[in-house]
Structure 1
Amino acid sequence: MKKTLICLSIVAACTSHMAFAESSPSADFSKAYQQYNQAIDANNQADVITYAQQAYELGKVKFGADSIDSANLAINWANAIVAQSKQNNRGRVVQDEQVINAQQLFESALTTYRKALPDNDIAFVDPLIGLAETTPDNAYAKKILFEAIDIAEDDGNELTVAEVKTFAFYRLTGTEFYTRKVRDFAFDAYDIYKDKLPANAIKRVDATYLYGALNEAMGQHSKAIDALVEVIKQYKALPYSHPHELRAHALLVDIYQQKGQKDKATKHCIAIGEMTPWNDQQEQTPLFRTAPDYPMSYASRGKSGWVKLEFTVDEQGFVQSPKVLDSDGGSQFEKESIEALSQWRYAPKFVDGKPAKGTATVQIDFTLG
Structure 2
Amino acid sequence: MHIFLRLSVVSVFVSQMANAVPTDTDTAGFSLAYQDYNQAVQANNQADIITYARQAYELGAVKFGVDSIDSAKLAMNWANAIVEQSKQNNKGRVVQDESVIKAQQLFESALTVYRQKLPENDIAFVDPLVGLAQTTADDAYAKKVLFEAIEIAQEADNEFTIAEVKTLAFYRLTGTDFYTRAVRRFAFDAYDIYVNKLPDNAIKRVNATYLYGVLNEAMGKHTKAVDALVEVIKQYQALPYSHPHELRAHALLVDIYQKRGQDDQATEHCIAIGKMTPWNEQQEQTPLFRTPPNYPKSYAKRGKSGWVKLQFTVDEQGFVQSPQVLDSKGGSQFEKESVEALTQWRYAPKFVDGKPTKGTSTVRLDFTLG
User: Equivalent residue of 1:364, what SS?
Assistant: strand
Structural mapping, 1:158-169, within 5 Å:
158-169=159-170
Q: Which residue number corresponds to residue 253 of structure 1?
A: 254
CA contact (8 A) 1:15 1:69 kept: no
Name the amino acid aligned to 2:159.
E
Task: Tell me, in whole angstroms, the C-alpha distance in 1 between the residues paired with 2:18 and 2:69.
Answer: 7
Task: Tell me, in whole angstroms, the C-alpha distance in 2 between the residues paired with 1:3 and 1:215.
Answer: 29
Task: Tell me, in whole angstroms, the C-alpha distance in 2 between the residues paired with 1:102 and 1:4.
Answer: 17
Question: Which whole-Å deviations, capped at 9, do the CAs of 1:140-198 have from their partners, x for residues lacking one?
Answer: 11111111111111111111111110011011111111111111111011010000000
Task: Tell me, in whole angstroms, the C-alpha distance in 2 between the residues paired with 1:6 and 1:199.
Answer: 18
Task: Tell me, in whole angstroms, the C-alpha distance in 2 between the residues paired with 1:120 and 1:209.
Answer: 32
Question: Which whole-Å deviations, capped at 9, do the CAs of 1:27-74 have from their partners, x for residues lacking one?
Answer: 111111111001101111111100100010011111111111111110
User: Equivalent residue of 2:279, what SS?
Assistant: coil
Task: Tell me, in whole angstroms, the C-alpha distance in 2 between the residues paired with 1:93 and 1:195.
Answer: 31
Q: Which residue number corresponds to residue 317 of structure 1?
A: 318
State the shift of 1:92 in Å. 1.2
Q: Which residue number corresponds to residue 218 of structure 1?
A: 219
Question: Which whole-Å deviations, capped at 9, do the CAs of 1:217-271 have from their partners, x for residues lacking one?
Answer: 1110110111001001111111221111111111111111011110110111011
Q: Which residue number corresponds to residue 18 of structure 1?
A: 21
User: Equivalent residue of 1:321, what SS?
Assistant: strand
Task: Tell me, in whole angstroms, the C-alpha distance in 2 between the residues paired with 1:31 and 1:14.
Answer: 15
Q: Which residue number corresponds to residue 171 of structure 1?
A: 172
CA contact (8 A) 1:14 1:123 kept: no
TM-score, normalized by length of structure 2? 0.95
State the shift of 1:303 in Å. 1.6
Task: Tell me, in whole angstroms, the C-alpha distance in 1 between the residues paired with 2:20 and 2:273.
Answer: 54
Name the amino acid aligned to 1:142.
K
Q: Which residue number corresponds to residue 263 of structure 2?
A: 262
User: Equivalent residue of 1:347, what SS?
Assistant: coil
Q: Which residue number corresponds to residue 107 of structure 1?
A: 108
Task: Tell me, in whole angstroms, the C-alpha distance in 1 between the residues paired with 2:16 and 2:273.
Answer: 46
% identity of equivalent residues: 77
User: Equivalent residue of 2:253, what SS?
Assistant: helix
Alpha-carbon distance change, 17 to 77 in structure 1, aligned in 2, over 3 angstroms: closer
CA contact (8 A) 2:12 2:131 kept: no
Matched, 1:296 2:287: no
Alpha-carbon distance change, 44 to 13 in structure 1, aligned in 2, over 3 angstroms: closer
Q: Which residue number corresponds to residue 202 of structure 1?
A: 203
Task: Tell me, in whole angstroms, the C-alpha distance in 2 between the residues paired with 1:16 and 1:116.
Answer: 16
Structure 1 gaps, min length 5 = none
Instruction: Single out whichever of 114-123 and 358-367 deviates more from structure 2.
Output: 114-123
CA contact (8 A) 1:9 1:159 kept: no
Structure 2 gaps, min length 5 = none
State the shift of 1:18 in Å. 2.5
User: Equivalent residue of 1:38, what SS?
Assistant: helix
Q: Which residue number corresponds to residue 332 of structure 2?
A: 331
State the shift of 1:10 in Å. 10
Task: Tell me, in whole angstroms, the C-alpha distance in 2 between the residues paired with 1:4 and 1:48.
Answer: 17
State the shift of 1:82 in Å. 0.6
State the shift of 1:102 in Å. 0.5
State the shift of 1:13 in Å. 12
CA contact (8 A) 2:13 2:80 kept: no
Q: Which residue number corresponds to residue 306 of structure 2?
A: 305
Structural mapping, 1:45-60, within 5 Å:
45-60=46-61
CA contact (8 A) 2:293 2:338 kept: yes
User: Equivalent residue of 1:136, what SS?
Assistant: coil
State the shift of 1:300 in Å. 1.4
State the shift of 1:25 in Å. 2.2
User: Equivalent residue of 2:302, what SS?
Assistant: coil
Q: Which residue number corresponds to residue 273 of structure 1?
A: 274
